[in-house]
Amino acid sequence: MEKAAVGQFEGGAAFVDGEVVPLSEAKISMFDWGFTRSDVTYDVGSVWQGAFFRLDAHIERFFNSLDTLRMKIPYDRAQVRDILHNCVRAGNLQDAYVAMVCTRGVPPRGARDPRLAQNRFYAYALPYVWIASRDKQREGIDLHISGRVRIGAASVDPTVKNYHWLDLVQSMFDAYDRGADTSCVVDADGNITEGPGFNVFVVKDGVVHTTDRGVLEGISRRTAIELCERLGITVQLAPFHADAMRAADEVFLTSTGGGILPIAKLDGVPLPSFPGPVTTRLHDAYWAIHDEDTYRDPVDYR
Of 199, 219, 226, 220, nearest to 210 by C-alpha is: 199
* Residue whose CB is less far from ligand PLP, 89 or 221: 221
CB of 17 to ligand PLP, least distance (A): 25
Distance separating alpha carbons of residues 249 and 245, to the nearest angstrom:
9
Widest pairwise Cα distance in the chain: 59
* CA 229/CA 238 separation, integer angstroms: 16
The SS3 of residue 240 is: coil
Q: Decide: 200 and 184 in contact? Cβ < 8 Å.
A: yes
Smallest distance, ligand PLP to C-beta of residue 108, A: 32
Minimum distance from CB of 188 to ligand PLP (Å)? 17
CB of 164 to ligand PLP, least distance (A): 9
**In the complex with ligand PLP, which residue's Cβ is closer, 92 or 256?**
256
Phi/psi of residue 53, nearest 5 degrees: -110, 120
Residue nearest to ligand PLP (CB): 218
Nearer to ligand PLP, 215 or 242 (CB): 215
CB of 221 vs ligand PLP, minimal distance in Å: 5
Q: In the complex, which residues of this chain contact ligand PLP (CB under 6 A)? A: 44, 194, 197-199, 215-216, 218-221, 254-256
Q: Which secondary structure element, helix H or strand E, spans residue 233, and what is its range?
A: none
* Contact present, 178 and 267 (Cβ < 8 Å): yes
Q: How far is the CB of 42 from ligand PLP (least distance, A)?
A: 9
- Whichever of 23 and 57 has its CB closer to ligand PLP, that residue is 57
Closest alpha carbon to 196 in 205, 186, 185, 187: 185
Contact 129, 173 (CB under 8 A): no
Comparison of 142 and 194: residue with beta carbon closer to ligand PLP = 194
> For the chain, what is the radius of gyration of the CA atoms?
20
Residue 215 or 227: the one with the smaller Cβ distance to ligand PLP is 215
Strand order in the sheet with 96-103: 19-22, 13-16, 120-127, 96-103, 40-48, 51-53, 296-298
Tell me whether residue 98 or residue 106 sits nearer to ligand PLP (CB atom): 98
What's the closest the beta carbon of residue 54 comes to ligand PLP, in angstroms?
A: 9
